[in-house]
């Protein structure tokens, strides 16, 4: 066994591969990077096909164009197979991202000598070989052990020189409850609650909401997608009504940068959502942090009543009730995601107590300071964990922060894999130019908890590289 000096971790070999958790856009990009460096690599994917999480929101159109959704090294591998790249200026749906890119990429990777993808393998544990988290001795010298489980419950172990956790956050949506736990009654009324963006172009799904009174909780781009979809549904079914529940006291800054948004499609989505509020079926309930969901006996027909935590003044005792929304038929929860660290309980992590993201990354991505969408490119230095050879990457590396972009993830894994391969110079280099969303105090890029405080913070290092705005600064709407 050889060790990489920079990370004090083992160097992958055929007997002791690099293991990547998740065959999503970032896990597969990591595998492409590893393949290009000749590293023996095993990808473990819980789903039965590549892009399993992206498929779940396959009907949603991305607001990044193709040119920002294809990893450069993956493209090189694909090109060698005769793959025809989609129009770089086109905007795919999640389904197209999978069919036209992730699935061919997985096939191309599997055809190489270096990469093996094992589908139907959920990672349920990572440990240092034969040691729990408390044993300090020899951690750098021993491999990591990955515990997996199939859908039928069969468990297996696999040893690895290094592990890149690119398992995303899609499978752990935040609950409706305003304090981060399920609201009282949330489990009992689960049959009326949907988490994520329903496919309203599917007639069976649309029928569930047509002509109904629907509560939508959340303020990110996913919530805006839902508002736009319900607004369109209301054109054919004018009785459809939407109550939009937001935690913040107003929605003026919730719609992104509009025409000024550097992410053009995101700006368009925000403008459409705004129209659904001003001219459509949507009414807004601000400062609403759901506390309870229960049957609304007065409305009948199994309708629901939602109650907010009371709005407390400083030092005030809790009042009985806050605001109330009644006669609700259906609830759609789009309040963001959180990472699952439960299966990393036997390895040493350094996570930010607020975001659940790598501590060294947290300041770079905190929505309170980066609501402008201005996140610096970063790599192994911020993502490596105290456990030698372990890295968090992709959507999961952002923890509860909402502003992850795939191209950020491509840069992350380029740097991580370089470090795993022992190429520290490449690992330390920054090779990415990120677009700025041009939004200040706006909603999170996708979902989640928009900041309650201002924007426009600066960070000391590394230097921000952005298009359209000065380094560390804000977009045109910055007050
Ligand atoms: C609705 C929506 C729209 C978005 N639009 C954009 C956009 O326009 N532009 C942009 O740049 N980004 C966008 N994003 C953000 C981000 O780029 C995507 O979420 C992207 O899919 C993240 O890739 P990932 O590989 O980190 O995670 P995922 O795509 O979530 O992939 C993780 C993979 O890991 C697997 N997995 C999970 N747990 C385990 C386990 N324990 N063991 C084994 N496998 C596991 C999952 O099955 C999945 O295949 C969007 C996100 C959402 C939700």
pLDDT tens readout for residues 316-343: 555 556 889 999 999 999 999 999 999 9
The rounded distance, in Å, linking the Cα atoms of 291 and 320 is: 11
- Contact present, 52 and 23 (Cβ < 8 Å): yes
Listing DSSP states for 232-297 in one string gives HHHHHSTT-EEEEE-SSS--TTTTTTGGG-SSHHHHHHHHHHHHHHHTSSEEEE-S--EEEEEE-T
Q: What is the pLDDT of residue 255?
A: 74
Hey, where are the domains in the chain?
18-171+337-428, 190-333
Q: What is the pLDDT of residue 451?
A: 40
Band the pLDDT of 270: cuts 50, 70, 90. Answer: confident
Does 226 sit in the ligand 1 pocket, CB within 6 Å? no
The preferred substitution site among 20, 24, 66, 401 for testing ligand 1, maximizing ligand atoms within 8 Å of CB, is 24
Which residue CA neighbors atom 27 of ligand 1 most closely? 168
Q: Do domains 18-171+337-428 and 190-333 have the same CATH topology?
A: yes
Segment 149-166 mean pLDDT: 97
Does 52 sit in the ligand 1 pocket, CB within 6 Å? yes
Q: Which residues contact 118 (CB under 8 A, 6 or more apart)?
A: 42, 43, 44, 45, 148
Q: What is the pLDDT of residue 452?
A: 39
- Reply yes or no on whether the pLDDT at 412 is more than 80: yes
Q: What is the pLDDT of residue 272?
A: 85
Q: Separation of 54 CA from ligand 1 center, angstroms?
A: 6
Does 35 sit in the ligand 1 pocket, CB within 6 Å? no
Q: What is the per-residue pLDDT across 99-140, written as a single tens digit (0 to 9) for each?
A: 999 999 999 999 999 999 999 999 999 999 999 999 888 888
Q: What is the pLDDT of residue 455?
A: 34
Q: Separation of 302 CA from ligand 1 center, angstroms?
A: 35
Q: What is the per-residue pLDDT across 28-74, written as a single tens digit (0 to 9) for each?
A: 999 999 999 999 999 999 999 999 999 999 999 998 999 999 999 99
Q: Which fold has domain 18-171+337-428?
A: FAD/NAD(P)-binding domain (3.50.50)
Segment 291-298 mean pLDDT: 95
Q: What is the pLDDT of residue 267?
A: 74
Q: Which fold has domain 190-333?
A: FAD/NAD(P)-binding domain (3.50.50)
Q: What is the pLDDT of residue 138?
A: 83
Q: What is the mean pLDDT of the chain?
A: 86
Of 448, 230, 218, residue with least CA distance to 329: 230
The preferred substitution site among 59, 262, 394 for testing ligand 1, maximizing ligand atoms within 8 Å of CB, is 394
Q: What is the pLDDT of residue 261?
A: 60
């Amino acid at each position: 066994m050889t060790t990489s000096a920079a990370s004090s971790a083992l160097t992958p070999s055929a007997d002791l591969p690099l293991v990547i958790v998740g065959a999503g856009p970032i896990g597969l990009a990591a595998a492409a990077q590893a393949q290009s460096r000749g590293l023996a690599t095993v990808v473990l994917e819980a789903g039965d096909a590549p892009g399993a999480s992206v498929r779940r929101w396959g009907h949603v159109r991305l607001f990044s164009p193709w040119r920002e959704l294809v990893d450069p090294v993956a493209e090189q591998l694909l090109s060698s197979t005769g793959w025809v790249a989609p129009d770089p200026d086109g905007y795919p749906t999640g389904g197209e991202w999978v069919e036209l890119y992730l699935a061919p990429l997985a096939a191309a990777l599997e055809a190489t000598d270096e990469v093996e993808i094992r589908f139907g393998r959920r990672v349920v544990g990572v440990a240092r070989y034969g040691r729990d988290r408390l044993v300090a001795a020899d951690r750098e010298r021993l491999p990591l052990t990955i515990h997996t489980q199939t859908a039928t419950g069969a468990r297996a172990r696999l040893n690895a020189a290094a592990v890149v956790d690119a398992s995303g956050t899609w499978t752990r949506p935040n609950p409706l409850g305003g304090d981060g736990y399920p609201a009282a009654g949330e489990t009992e009324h689960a049959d009326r609650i949907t988490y994520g963006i329903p496919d309203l172009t599917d007639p069976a799904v649309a029928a569930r909401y047509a002509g109904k009174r629907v509560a939508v909780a959340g303020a990110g781009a996913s919530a805006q997608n839902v508002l736009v979809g319900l607004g369109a549904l209301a054109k054919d079914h004018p009785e459809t009504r939407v109550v939009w529940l937001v935690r913040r006291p107003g929605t003026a800054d919730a719609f992104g940068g509009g025409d000024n948004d550097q992410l053009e499609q995101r700006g368009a989505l925000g403008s459409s959502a705004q129209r659904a509020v001003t001219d459509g079926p949507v009414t807004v309930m601000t400062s609403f942090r759901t506390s309870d969901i229960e049957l609304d006996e007065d409305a009948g027909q199994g309708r629901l009543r939602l109650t907010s935590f009371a709005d407390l003044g400083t030092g005030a005792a809790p009042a009985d009730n806050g605001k109330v929304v009644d006669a609700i038929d259906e609830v759609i929860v789009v309040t963001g995601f959180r990472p699952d660290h439960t299966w990393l309980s036997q390895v040493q992590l350094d996570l930010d107590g607020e975001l659940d993201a790598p501590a060294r990354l947290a300041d770079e991505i905190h929505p309170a300071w980066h609501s402008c969408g201005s996140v610096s490119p970063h790599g192994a230095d911020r993502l490596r964990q105290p456990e030698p050879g372990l890295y968090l990457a992709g959507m999961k590396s952002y923890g509860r922060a909402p502003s992850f972009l795939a191209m950020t993830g491509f840069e992350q894994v380029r740097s991580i894999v370089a470090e795993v391969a022992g190429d520290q110079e490449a690992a330390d280099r920054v090779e990415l130019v990120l677009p700025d969303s041009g939004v200040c105090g706006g909603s999170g890029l996708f979902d989640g908890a928009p900041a309650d405080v201002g924007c426009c913070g600066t960070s000391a290092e590394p230097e921000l590289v952005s298009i359209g705005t000065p380094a560390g600064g804000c977009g045109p709407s910055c007050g």
